Amino acid sequence: MNNPLYSFIDLFAGVGGIRLAFTRNGCSCVFSSEWDVHSQKTYQKNFGELPYGDITKIEAADVPDHDILTGGFPCQPFSTIGKREGFSHPTQGTLFYDIARIIKEKKPSVFLLENVAGLYSHDSGETFKVIKKTLEKELGYWVDDKILDSADFGVPQHRKRVYIVGFRKDLSPNKNFQFDWPKKEQNKVGIGQFVEKGISGYTISKHLQGSYIFKKDDGRPQIIDTDSNIQVKTLVSTYHKIQRLTGTFVRDGETGLRLLSENECKAIMGFPEYFEFPVSRTQMYRQMGNSVAVPVVEKVAAQIVKQLARLHEAQAKYKLKTA
């Protein structure tokens, strides 16, 4: 990329959803890490780069300097792990600890972290409390956080996630710091326009339909077709297991009912059609279910870039005045 605005690193990268979002905002990825070999394969296919593996085995000093740190880290209880292992820091032994040690070493201007909405209530609220204290008090960042639903940002899926944004305190002396979160879009996007017709190979057998899928008349599971002007339920990593309570299925195929196609999954997650999955269908579902909704992160990234540029501009003016 010629003259990128800012550099970023892609931790817990998955298949690269966050990378897509920041690259579209003129930023350049200088490092990526993902331990799952199947996700690494998909990442390499689409970005021409094999992510580094286990983040716990990577020295923070070896990570390239960067402006923005990004990562969708797993939700783990600090209290039980810390007490069990007798660690000196409450986050040690969890993957958030690796984010914290890299931030401490490299001191990026900004970070963006993403997690499930349940992070707020996880371990009776203790998990988030420790995360915020670590980022604000120990690492020196102004932190703002919010739950965003992908359905409010042009994605035909309800997917609520916690987004945590932090700006290094020396960039802004304002103690009342607030991040300029992207505004919700007024018009929702329905799934119907993305539903494919005549798709084969994704069928759900008549036997399974009768014995499990439609065993109760309770309005479940969610069934969609080309006329569905709704946002589907959250796509989960276990979608391939065909769960009637959480699943969304399509009125189509040889038996009249099928699983979501690869292209439909891409639409649901906001991935471009050209994105490739050189893995099994089961792995594709897992990877999509574990990913971020790209358009949401893209809009958050746009606000990060704008706000960071304003802070840098203000700093430059201040230096000129005091020179």
Structural domain boundaries in the chain: 7-184+294-322, 192-289
As annotated, the active-site residues are: 75
State how far the Cα of 219 lies from the Cα of 245, in Å rounded to an integer. 10
Computed over every residue of the chain, the mean pLDDT equals 90
DSSP string, 173-217: --TT----PPPPPSS---SGGG--SS--S-B--HHHIIIIITSS-
| pLDDT tens per residue across span 9-40 | 999 999 999 999 999 999 999 999 999 999 99
Residue 123 — pLDDT band, cuts 50, 70, 90?
A: confident
Q: Is the pLDDT score of 173 beyond 80? A: no
Q: Which CATH architecture has domain 7-184+294-322?
A: 3-Layer(aba) Sandwich (3.40)
Q: Is the pLDDT score of 104 beyond 60? A: yes
What CATH fold (topology level) applies to the domain 192-289? DNA Methylase; Chain A, domain 2 (3.90.120)
